[in-house]
Amino acid sequence: MDKGKIALGVLSLVLVGLAMGYVVASGYVMFRYGLSLTRFDVTLLAREYRGLSQSAPKDFLWVNLILGGFGLASLMLSVTLLGDALTRFGTTHWQTRSEMKRNGFFVIPNLLTYKGSAVVLDVKGENFRETSRFRASMGDKVFRFAPTDWDRPTHRYNPLARIAAMTNPDRQQMELKLTAKLFLQTDNEKLSGLLAGGIDLFVAAGLLAFERGVPTIGEIYRITASGGDKQKEYLKRSQEVKNKSAKLIFERMASTNNDTLTSYLSLLMTSGLDTWDNRAIDAATATSDFSFRDIRRRPHAIYLVVESEMIRPLAPLIRLFFSDLIASLQAREPGDDEPWPVMILLDEFDRLGKLPIVAESIKTLRSFGGNLAIVTQTIPALDEIYGENTRRSLQGGAGVKLYLTPSEQKTIEELSQAVGKTTKRVVTRSRAVGRNPFEGRSVSERTEDTPLLTEDEARRMDLDEVILVIDAQMPIRAKRVKYFEDPVLKVLHAGQSGSFPYPDEDGLRRDRQMSETRETVEKLKQELQEVRAAAGANGSGVATSPATAEMPVSNTQSSTPSRPNRARGRAARAGASGGGPVQLSFDPVGLGLKEPDRAELAAAVQTTRAIIAEYA
């Protein structure tokens, strides 16, 4: 106990004792001199105290004895209490209702009340269904990123959009490497060397994808996985890419023996890149409908919706999503035009794999306007992924820790220790055996420390109860808030109306068609370059003199490249016209395309026409 509080307590008790003695002494004087006690005069003793010492020394002595006796008694009482305070081991107690501040329990109540942006990992989509319309009615921009929802449209998110927007290629290379380390992980530490080689390949493919104008992880997947002979394929890519660092990586890969190269690629795929072999995930990450750079400027509600059984398969994408979010927030402190805080809710945290950026930023994210909440099932699950020291760092960085009824022993111990200890008085009674039953008895008292919440009590907590451990406050034991029963939240929830803020499916379809058109044009351009290179190589090989070099190439000399050229021309015509006459025509207005998309589509059509015309 604080020494100042002890001294104040002793002084207060002594003053109370003296006050009581004064009242009794005043009563004695009034009784001694025959005054009526019904008209008690509080000031009598104070007025007559000096005179009493002269006129009635005996009565004066009794008055002082009464005052001194009460003062001494109060002092002895305070000493007794002081001794008890010095043997206290803790004073932890549950907060009373008056001590409790504002509490929320948990995801849905927070989404219904939080003022600012919210980004949530929405397992099973319940949070979107129960809160999205309310957030939209409050003026939030609502996005639902659900790459594995096969029945409803999804908004899109490109993890590489932020890096592709950078103008410094060296910085792009560094950011690509950091990004790769965020989501490409292996459980076997012995394979970390092979994974490093795979990450280098990812970086080189990413820089090439940027140069191609398709800055997506899906394009990186296609670059790394395409081709039968990987050494020849990567040699071609080294000739195609302009970035010197990427060129060196591709050349190094092309000179690596086939077994090692296969190991690089295999580990790269199994570490997370093979997630993008699914066309739906590739399409959902081809572009971005929202930007994390805007969420402090205007309130957003972004739901990453994933089914429970898909958390582990999609863990690489989920890690990328939240790592990119935190990196975007920490890029700079909020400006004057960014007044809104950001709440980040990470459910099923232990199933996402290792997120180093969370452990590193949990203590500093608040200064960048971020409020992070992570939800995990058990303590050992975090220890297995992060190790005990990093897990303790995560807990130490959390200003509020909320515990539901635990079932695992280590989590039970953690909860009991986190709540703290208090002091209780223990009375021990003993009796000597064989003696007179009325003799040999003894009673002893002692104080000892005890957990405020024992492990047994923690194990048997009611399922509707929660424990909150808050920095610099006493713990709270409270009932869970159920939004469908709480009088305030129930009104907010029931007041939602209208349709759910799903993305425009027609617009997504048009964007997908535009994306496929761009990819087709890029492939045709690439094939055209390869054909020109092959034709140039063959022409230079048969030229014997300047005179013959100026002559048109004969049919015999050009027969080899001409067949694939014509085959590609026929394939392009068939793909463009459905097998009918060679005609490329579109109705941009009928497709509902906006002006920038019309211009882009027109350019793609012109390029395709030129390719077909040249190789028809």
pLDDT score recorded for residue 614:
60
CATH domain 161-283 topology? Helicase, Ruva Protein; domain 3 (1.10.8)
Least confident of 127-136, 414-423, 552-561, 593-602: 552-561
- The mean pLDDT of 34-53, rounded to a whole number, is 76
CA distance 317 to 308: 15
Write the DSSP assignment of 386-446 as a string of letters: H-HHHHHHHHHH-SEEEE----SHHHHHHHHHHH-EEEEEEEEEEE-TTS-TTSSEEEEEE
- The mean pLDDT of 245-257, rounded to a whole number, is 92
Of these ranges, 322-336, 479-493, 601-615, the one predicted with the greatest mean pLDDT is 322-336
pLDDT score recorded for residue 103:
33
Whether the Cβ atoms of residue 157 and residue 522 lie closer than 8 Å to each other: no
pLDDT above 90 covers a percentage of the chain that reads 26
pLDDT band at 576 (very low <50, low <70, confident <90, very high): very low
Strand-by-strand arrangement of the 300-306 sheet: 141-145, 300-306, 117-123, 342-346, 370-374
CA distance 403 to 483: 19
Distance of CA 599 to the CA centre of its chain: 40
The answer on pLDDT for 506 being more than 70 is no
pLDDT band at 443 (very low <50, low <70, confident <90, very high): confident
The H-or-E segment that residue 209 falls in is: helix 192-212
Whether the Cβ atoms of residue 53 and residue 64 lie closer than 8 Å to each other: no
- The mean pLDDT of 569-582, rounded to a whole number, is 46
The answer on pLDDT for 608 being more than 80 is no
Whether the Cβ atoms of residue 400 and residue 466 lie closer than 8 Å to each other: no
- The mean pLDDT of 223-249, rounded to a whole number, is 90
The answer on pLDDT for 512 being more than 70 is no
The answer on pLDDT for 285 being more than 70 is yes
pLDDT score recorded for residue 88:
52
- The mean pLDDT of 513-542, rounded to a whole number, is 65
CA distance 520 to 518: 5
pLDDT band at 99 (very low <50, low <70, confident <90, very high): very low
CB count within 10 Å of CB 512 equals: 14
Distance of CA 57 to the CA centre of its chain: 81
Name the DSSP class of 290.
Answer: S
Residues 44-91: tens digit of each pLDDT: 777 877 777 777 888 888 888 888 888 888 888 877 666 555 455 455
190 exposure class (CB count in 10 Å sphere: 0-12, 13-18, 19+): exposed
> Where do the structural domains in the chain lie, given as residue ranges?
3-86, 107-156+288-405+469-494, 161-283, 505-539+556-614
Of these ranges, 139-143, 419-423, 426-430, 501-505, the one predicted with the greatest mean pLDDT is 139-143
CA distance 478 to 510: 51
Q: Do domains 107-156+288-405+469-494 and 161-283 have the same CATH topology?
A: no
pLDDT band at 369 (very low <50, low <70, confident <90, very high): very high
Whether the Cβ atoms of residue 119 and residue 343 lie closer than 8 Å to each other: yes
Q: Which residues contact 358 (CB under 8 A, 6 or more apart)?
A: 322, 326, 346, 372, 374, 394
The answer on pLDDT for 112 being more than 80 is yes
In the numeric block, the tokens 């025959």 are attached to 34
CATH domain 107-156+288-405+469-494 topology? Rossmann fold (3.40.50)
pLDDT score recorded for residue 560:
41
Token pair, residue 270, equals 């199994």
Of these ranges, 186-195, 256-265, 285-294, 597-606, the one predicted with the greatest mean pLDDT is 285-294
pLDDT above 70 covers a percentage of the chain that reads 75
- The mean pLDDT of 196-204, rounded to a whole number, is 91
Residues 454-482: tens digit of each pLDDT: 889 888 888 888 888 888 788 888 888 87
- The mean pLDDT of 234-259, rounded to a whole number, is 92
Distances (CA, A) of 514 to 58, 210, 211: 112, 18, 19
The answer on pLDDT for 8 being more than 70 is yes
User: How many helices and strands (H and E) does the chain possess?
Assistant: 25, 10
